[in-house]
Amino acid sequence: MIKPTIVVVGNGMVGYKFCEKLVNKSSDFRIIVFGEEPRHAYDRVHLSEYFNGKTAEDLSLSSRSWYEEHDILLHLGDPVQEINRSAKTVHSLMGVTYSYDFLVLATGSSAFVPDIPGVEKEGVFVYRTIEDLELIKAYASNVKTGAVMGGGLLGLEAAKALMDLGIEETHVIEFAPRLMPRQIDSAGSTMLQSKLKELGLSLHLNKSTSHVGGENKIEALHFNDESVLSVDMLVISAGIRPRDELARLSGLQIGTRGGIVVNEKMQTSDEAIFAIGECALYEGMIYGLVAPGYEMADIVAAQITGISKLFYGYDMSTKLKLIGVDVASFGDAFVTEPDCRTIVFEDTHKGIYKRINISIDGKYLLGGILIGDADAYNILLQTVNNKLILPPNPEDLILGTRGGAENEGAGVMSLPDDALICSCEAVNKATICSSVIDLGITNIDGIKKCTKAGTGCGGCIPLVKDLIAGTMKANGQYIKNVICEHFDYSRQELFDLVKINKLKNYDLVLDHFGKGDGCEVCKPVVASIMSSLWNDVIVKQDTIQDSNDRFLANIQKGGTYSVVPRIPGGEITPDKLIVLGQVAKRYNLYTKITGGQRIDLFGAHVNDLPAIWEELIDAGFESGHAYGKALRTVKSCVGSTWCRFGLHDSVSFAIEIEERYKGVRAPHKIKGGVSGCVRECAEAQAKDFGIIATEKGWNLYVCGNGGSKPQHGQLLATDIDKETLVKYLDRFLMFYIKTAEPLSRTATWLNKMDGGLSYLKNVVVNDSLGLAGQLEEEMQALVNTYHCEWKEVVDNPDLRKRFTHFVNAPEEKDPTVKFDPMRDQVKAKW
Amino acid sequence: METTTAIEWILACHTNDVPENGGACVKLGEEQIAIYNFTRRGEWYATQNLCPHKQQMVLSRGMIGSTGAHCEPKVACPFHKNTFSLISGQCLTNEEYSIKTYAVKIADGKIFIGI
């Protein structure tokens, strides 16, 4: 049997989606695709991400192999030139001819370029394809000012792209009196304008452009009100125009303002020809979003495979982040009184505007607009689409419940089973919930793989996550973070068990609460717990320590170690500096200043470590615990003793704090900082705890982090004195030590904490758990039992003996260790 | 027991040279061998000291333990925490790697390695 042939004209997102939908429904068709662009279908919705580092490859939706796998014949860079409807054939630019049984037009749209004199000048672009973006990128490298014509959704995206390209001055020109006129009202626009201005965008509303000035290339925009704006480049984003020229040429019915007219089956005036996506005109409307395009693709795939499914228009609700500002519009956003009742919340301080329109009887939500904070978008949209009955105080929907009983009914679990969760892929609530219950999928990646939900615009991902969690909870499942196969406890549980049972030895802990022989995961966890509880000399149980803790030094490339003595607050005398230099020279060590204001000596043989430390300790140094999950450094600026801006003596305070917490072991390393004024030269807000001098005392920040995911510290207490600050720090650190998961920094710990900063504040400042006294005592016990670990080793011949490479030849160093010279020092050779 | 005659036993070190539930490195000729004192199980193991992943002479400094239903004894390299079976030498975290293992004999507080 010869398979019926489907020819698809257009290989954009919707054309691609059609192929995907069709091959999923049936393999009884021969599919031929023509694409004008040279690339495979790519994600146009996230086009602007091309400018912040995404490549064309990242944006690609499919690969050649996908087409091959499904026997789809792909002609890229070859647009269809002619349709012969009576012969049912298409003819391409390259001269290929195919006959078709069904033809699907997914020709999309092009940028609408208004007929303004001068738009042909050099430096004027449209914003539509990767090729457009490449041209913009190349041109933007030499320009200082740029403008975007059009203040709609795409125009603002384009403006963001110009800013990302480093253009110093970016302007947006809009003909209408407000931004995004299709999505938001004028109050919302006002809020959006002020937010965008803050971010450095210049906005010009009510402006109609008369011509583009300049010799050969653009130099200025001239407006009808006689004003002039000089710019080096212009990106036109004044709307889209359906690509209907091929259909027009073939005599298909076209709307008066463009667009291929289709019926509810997506059929054009020729019943063998369908049109989908942005080229299709349904009941006088072009649907310029991807989700309705996908829906149309599904309808045509259904029609062809004999399933009856019709198009009834589409919800044009949308949520996006524009230049960092949330903007959402859903349901009937513009309906006004007396046809509805409107609740508006406006906060010009934070730049938030929310409007909801509710039915006259107060029962249903009709639609609304969210600017600045669109967290509630998904649930509001669901409330509209599923006609959920509103709570008695509908303002709670945008303001949150303010005291009183929580409204149980507002959660995701109250949605009906057929509630559409992912509109791009048409996945409903029941599908997601059953993936969790029946297939045991418990994470978003699994859901994406199995249902495709969240793989389109990604807007529904928070909702999907809530659904996974809600379903698991309803199902009586919960995820417990156990340490490893040997301990069926979380770190916090084991911490309490070790404490209550006063266990001081790993094997005892394993006998009491674990199974098997332990491993490289649970051994250091238990070691850390025991250290945080009892503060014994850790090398007495050296084989449960991670390698760095076992040898009290950081293992480096080649198997040598680095040595980091403590330099509290980064303050050091010239005499001590000389000793460091002498020791480094004697043992041929590479020296470098660390980020924590101390000096690291690299390349020490394990055999040499005790002798090196003996010399350092004689000179008054102590272990710096650079090898441990422990307090590292408290960085300081020079403070009021020398700095003319300094308010208080930050160095003395940093030393005091570092001396207090030195040696304290924790689930992960801890870093601190103290700055003497608001200029913050110690970068204290990037530390696990940061202390900044104020006129009246000190501010305490907590849970900051540098590293791969930098995060600013959050303000825990303001204008407090030193004594109070130390108390809070005791409580904060001890609470972290007792409750965090293994290898979790304070930032991650806080991010996962239920209630977040306000909960932490309650525990530490307001003593909501009644634990403050206990936490302070526990910390004081650790402070009182401090010992320099290296002094213990240096003074103990048995412990010293362990620092050898060959136990049968203790004097001999590892002969495989080699160094190369570099800039008058050495580096590891391996 | 005839096979044992084929093995050459070389004195490596004393039992108290190797820490409990941990490892130590010995030099036998030009070779570096890691010996593990699995006190918890009353067992001794020996492997090459070189971790094949990044060619580091460090396995003797790694933590030992066991994994799976059959409590397969293993050592974890301190560099990147690749783990190796102390019985087969097979890397348990990356199929590509494996290490040499050696027979161990204890007599009169002395450790002998079978080569």
CATH number at residue A718: 3.30.413.10
Query: What is residue A11's predicted lDDT score, i.e. its pLDDT?
Result: 92
Based on the domain organization, do A783 and A695 belong to the same domain?
A: yes
Q: Within a domain: residue A30?
A: yes
Sorting pLDDT into bands at 50, 70 and 90, what band is A400? low
Q: CA of B83 to nearest chain A CA: how many angstroms apart?
A: 9
> DSSP string of A660-677?
HHTT-B-SS-EEEEEESS
Q: Looking at residue A409, what is its pLDDT?
A: 37
Answer positive or negative: Cα dihedral of A489, A494, A495, A496: positive
Which of A518, A522, A555 minimises the CB distance to B78?
Answer: A555
Note the pLDDT tens digit of each residue in A440-474. Answer: 887 777 788 788 888 777 778 778 888 888 888 77
Q: Does B91 touch chain A (CB under 8 A)?
A: no
Same domain, A675 and A751: yes
B114 versus A830: the higher-pLDDT residue is: B114
Query: What percentage of chain B exceeds 70 in pLDDT?
Result: 96
| CATH number of the structural domain spanning residue A437 | 1.10.10.1100
CA pair distance A753, A773, nearest whole angstrom: 22
A82-101 pLDDT, tens digit per residue, is 999 999 999 999 999 999 99
Cα–Cα distance measured from residue B49 to residue A814, given in angstroms and rounded to the nearest whole number = 11
The whole-chain average pLDDT of chain A stands at 89
* A41-67 pLDDT tens trace: 887 777 777 776 677 777 788 778 888
Q: What is the mean pLDDT of residues A2-21?
A: 93
Give the domain-ending residue among A185, A214, A238.
A238
Q: What are phi and psi of A718, to 5 degrees?
A: -120, 140
Residue A406's pLDDT is what? Answer: 40
Closest CA to A570 of A591, A590, A596: A596
Residue A1 pLDDT level (bands cut at 50, 70, 90): low
Beta carbons within 8 Å of A469's beta carbon, 6+ residues apart: none
CA pair distance B51, B82, nearest whole angstrom: 9
pLDDT above 90: percentage of residues in chain A: 54
| Phi, psi (rounded to 5 degrees) for A324 | 85, 0
Q: Which pLDDT score, from 0 to 100, does residue A795 have?
A: 93
Residue A357 lies in a domain: no
Task: Tell me, yes or no, whether A142 and A191 share the same domain.
Answer: yes
Q: Do A67 and A127 belong to one domain?
A: no
- Give contacts of B21 with chain A, Cβ < 8 Å: 507, 543-544
> Are A201 and A269 contained in the same domain?
no
If phi > 0 it is left, if psi is from -120 to 50 it is alpha, else beta; for residue A367 that is: left
**A559 and A619, same structural domain?**
yes
Question: Domain limits at A31?
Answer: 5-109+242-304
Q: How far apart are CA A669 and CA A687, in angstroms?
A: 11
Whichever domain contains A615, its CATH number is: 3.30.70
The yes-or-no verdict on residue A310 having pLDDT over 80 is yes
pLDDT exceeds cutoff 70 at A411:
no
Residues of A in Cβ contact (< 8 Å) with B22 = 542-543
The 10s digit of each residue's pLDDT in A208-247 is 999 999 989 999 999 999 999 999 999 999 888 999 999 9
- Write out pLDDT tens, residues A764-796: 998 888 889 999 999 999 999 999 999 999 999
- Within a domain: A742: yes
| Residues A715 and A747 placed together within one structural domain of the fold | yes
**pLDDT mean over A379-400:** 82
Count of domains forming chain A: 6
Distance between CA A464 and CA A454 in Å, rounded? 8
Residues of B in contact with A560 (CB under 8 A): none
Both tokens of A689, joined, read: 């705890």
Q: What is the pLDDT of residue A276?
A: 96
Does A361 have pLDDT greater than 90? no
Place B2 in a pLDDT band, splitting at 50, 70 and 90. very low
Residue A505 is given by DSSP the state: S
Which of residues A452, A479, A506 is at a domain's end? Answer: A479
CB contact under 8 A, B63 and A551: no
Q: A464 by DSSP, 3-state: which?
A: helix
* Secondary structure of A287-302 as H, E, C letters: CCCHHHHHHHHHHHHH
Q: Which residue, A188, A222, A238, sits at the end of a domain?
A: A238
CB-CB: which of A522, A523, A812 is closest to B27? Answer: A812
A647 and A780 in a single domain? The answer is yes
- Higher pLDDT residue, A500 or A34? A34
Q: Predicted ipTM?
A: 0.91
Q: Any CB–CB contact under 8 A between B41 and chain A?
A: yes
Closest residue in chain A to residue B36, using alpha carbons only? A543
Contact B80/A at CB under 8 A: no
Q: Judge if A503 and A617 occupy the same domain.
A: no
Does A27 have pLDDT greater than 80?
yes
Amino acid at A350: K
Size (chain A), residues? 830
Cα A512 vs. chain centroid, distance in angstroms?
A: 42
Report yes or no on A91 lying in a domain. yes
Higher pLDDT, A373 or A567: A567
Mean pLDDT computed over A641-647:
92
Q: Which domains does chain B have, with CATH numbers?
A: 14-105 (2.102.10.10)
Percent of chain B with pLDDT over 90: 65
- Determine the Cα–Cα distance for residues A703 and A188; give it in Å rounded to an integer: 35
* Percent of chain A whose predicted confidence (pLDDT) is above 70: 97
Instruction: State the alpha helices, DSSP H only, in A703-755.
Output: 722-739, 746-752
Alpha carbon separation from A627 to A30, A523, A562, A564, A717 (Å, rounded): 64, 16, 9, 9, 31
The pLDDT value recorded for residue A480 is: 62
Confidence band of A604 (pLDDT split at 50, 70, 90) = very high
Across the interface, of B18, B32, B67, the residue whose CB is closest to A519 is B67
Q: Which of B19, B41, B54 lies nearest to residue A802, judging by beta carbons?
A: B19
Which residues make beta-bridge pairs with A354?
A: A345, A370
Contact check, Cβ <8 Å, B65/A517: yes
Q: Is the pLDDT of residue A407 over 50?
A: no
Higher-confidence residue: A322 or A365? Answer: A365
Q: Identify the residue whose tokens are 């996962």.
A: A752
User: Is residue A146 domain-shared with residue A224, that is, in the same domain?
Assistant: yes
Look at residue A381 and tell me if it is in a domain.
no
The pLDDT tens digits for A237-275 are: 988 899 999 999 999 999 988 999 999 999 999 999 999
Q: Cα(first)–Cα(last) distance of chain B, in Å?
A: 16
Residue A580 has pLDDT above 90, yes or no: yes
Between B26, B41, B56, which is nearest A517 by CB? Answer: B41
B 10-39 near A (Cβ less than 8 A): 12-13, 17-27, 32, 38
Shared-domain flag, residues A91 and A124: no
CB contact under 8 A, A543 and B64: yes
Alpha-carbon A778 to chain mean position: 37
Between chains, do B54 and A516 touch, taking CB under 8 Å as contact? no
Best of A547, A798, A818 to mutate (most B CBs within 10 Å, chain B): A547
* Confidence label for A379 from pLDDT (cuts 50, 70 and 90): confident
Q: What is the pLDDT of residue A401?
A: 55
**CA B64/CA B81 separation, integer angstroms:** 11
Q: Closest by alpha carbon to A397, among A382, A418, A416?
A: A382
**Is residue A318, in this structure, part of any structural domain at all?**
no
- More confident of the two residues A654 and A345: A654
Residue A388 lies in a domain: no
* A546 interfacial to chain B (CB closer than 8 Å): yes
CATH code for the domain of A298: 3.50.50.60
Q: Which residues of A326-338 are buried (b: 16+ CB within 10 A; e: fewer)?
A: bbbbbbbbebeee
Burial-class residue A722 by CB neighbours within 10 Å (0-12, 13-18, 19+): middle
Q: Give SS3 for A275.
A: strand
Least CB–CB distance from A806: residue in B25, B63, B73: B25
Give residue B1's pLDDT.
43
Q: Is-contact A16 A62, C-beta < 8 A?
A: yes
What is the per-residue pLDDT for A43?
79
Distance CA A687, CA A582 (A): 32
pLDDT at A363 over 70: yes
The answer on A285 and A200 residing in a single domain is no
